[in-house]
């Protein structure tokens, strides 16, 4: 992956008057190289506790970072993203890199469940009962009860090319932040992931 990134940088430097179309393609390679690197990290960390590097951050900022990483997939399926952020909420204390990865996993799962051109991904943040609450809602195919009960088990997957570690790692990260995660879904009616964090003291 490092060699890919270095090669792209070298090619960009050697092409005179680089036009916008090439720039978009190069940026796509760089973003996906970063995404692959994160997937490899997930494989290594799916069931392993790792020390967290806490810092205060706004949940809305984390979500925007995760959405940017998923931009290619969202654009490819022509999905509409509806953000209903509560502005002015307090920060949460978290490991920015790890929690961004967890949120990205949920967003990508939602994108993969949505049909092309008719998809809507709704992301809501709010304060409720003294907690920072985040909802990621898709209008995809939904999940049956049996699948929901196994959703966070390592190596369980319903995807043909899935490894079953993305959501297992996601739950691991969120629980390590002393937060909670739950899933609400009805087959044919989409899926909601609800995460509740404590605010930073």
CA dist 172 → 17, 24, 118, 181, 200 (Å): 46, 34, 32, 10, 20
Average pLDDT over residues 35-53: 73
Give pLDDT tens digits for 150-168: 888 876 676 655 555 678 8
User: Residue 78: its pLDDT value, please?
Assistant: 94
Give pLDDT tens digits for 79-123: 999 999 999 999 999 999 999 999 999 999 999 989 888 899 999
pTM of the model: 0.74
Average pLDDT over residues 60-72: 96
User: Residue 17: its pLDDT value, please?
Assistant: 82
Average model confidence (pLDDT) across the chain: 89
């Amino acid at each position: 992956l490092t060699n890919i990134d270095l090669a792209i940088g070298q090619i960009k430097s050697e092409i005179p008057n680089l036009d916008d179309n090439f720039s978009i393609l190069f940026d796509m390679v760089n973003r996906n190289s970063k995404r692959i690197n994160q997937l490899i990290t997930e494989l290594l960390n799916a069931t392993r506790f790792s020390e967290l590097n806490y810092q205060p951050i706004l949940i809305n900022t984390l979500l925007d970072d995760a959405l940017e990483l998923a931009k290619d997939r969202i654009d490819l399926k022509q999905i509409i993203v509806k953000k209903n952020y509560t502005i002015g909420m307090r920060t949460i204390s978290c490991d920015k890199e790890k929690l961004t990865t967890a949120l990205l996993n949920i967003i990508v799962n939602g994108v993969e469940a949505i049909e092309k051109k008719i998809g809507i991904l709704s992301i809501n943040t709010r304060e409720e009962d003294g907690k920072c609450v985040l909802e990621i809602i898709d209008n995809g195919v939904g999940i049956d009860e049996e699948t929901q009960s196994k959703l966070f088990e390592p190596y369980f997957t319903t995807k043909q090319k899935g490894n079953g570690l993305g959501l297992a790692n996601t739950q691991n990260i969120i629980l390590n932040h002393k937060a909670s995660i739950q899933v609400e879904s009805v087959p044919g009616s989409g899926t909601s992931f609800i995460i509740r964090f404590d605010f930073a003291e």
